[in-house]
Amino acid sequence: MFKRIERVNALIRLQLGQLFLKEIEFPFNVLVSISRVECSSNLIQAKVYISVMPENKFPEVFKILNKNIYFLQKKLNKLLKMRPVPKIEFKEEKGIREVNEIEKILEKLKKDYNPPTTSEVPVEGRRVEGGSESQPSAESLKDS
């Protein structure tokens, strides 16, 4: 049963992606992608997760999609040779936004990180004094 749900998810994602390209007009310079589709176990409902670049255009794209949801559902009903065809519902993909925020933080940390220079790093068996490597003197070895 789970394999069927996975195949239905992939099929809905593919068909909606084609419909987005051919039938729906999105604002200029906006990338809309379907990140995933999750059908319920009884195949009555499908949550379609959408990501938008740039992110500030998401409300506008979401409004366009919800305005055309009945049209998209009708087209999907005709394209899919299965019954019942899950009722689609659009959701914002928040995982991608979180990943982008984490990447920004990592980039900032990477830029701010100053690794120690080789003169500051102790070498095994040697002491580091005053930023330069020094070896124990013969006199200090006699005293020990």
CB count within 10 Å of CB 37 equals: 22
Q: What is the pLDDT of residue 130?
A: 54
| Predicted pLDDT at 54 | 86
Let me know if residue 102 belongs to a domain. no
Supply the pTM of this predicted model.
Answer: 0.66
Question: Quick one: which of 2, 12, 82, 78 has its CA closest to 50?
Answer: 12
Kindly state whether residue 82 falls inside one of the protein's structural domains. Answer: yes
Structural domain boundaries enclosing 24: 2-94
Look at residues 9, 95, 81 and name the one whose alpha carbon lies nearest to residue 45.
9
**Is 136 part of any domain?**
no
| 131 domain residue, yes or no | no
**CATH number of domain containing 35:** 3.30.300.20
DSSP state, 122?
P
Q: Which pairs from 100-106 meet CB under 8 Å and 24+ separation?
A: 100/55
Total of domains in the chain: 1
- Say which DSSP state 42 is in: T
Q: What is the pLDDT, as a whole number, of residue 99?
A: 77
Is 128 within 8 Å of 119 (Cβ atoms)?
yes
**Average model confidence (pLDDT) for the chain?**
83
Write the burial class of residue 109 (CB in 10 Å: 0-12 exposed, 13-18 middle, 19+ buried).
Answer: exposed
pLDDT tens for each residue of 65-108: 999 999 999 999 999 888 888 999 999 988 777 777 888 888 88
d(CA 58, CA 85): 27
Answer whether residue 61 is part of any domain: yes
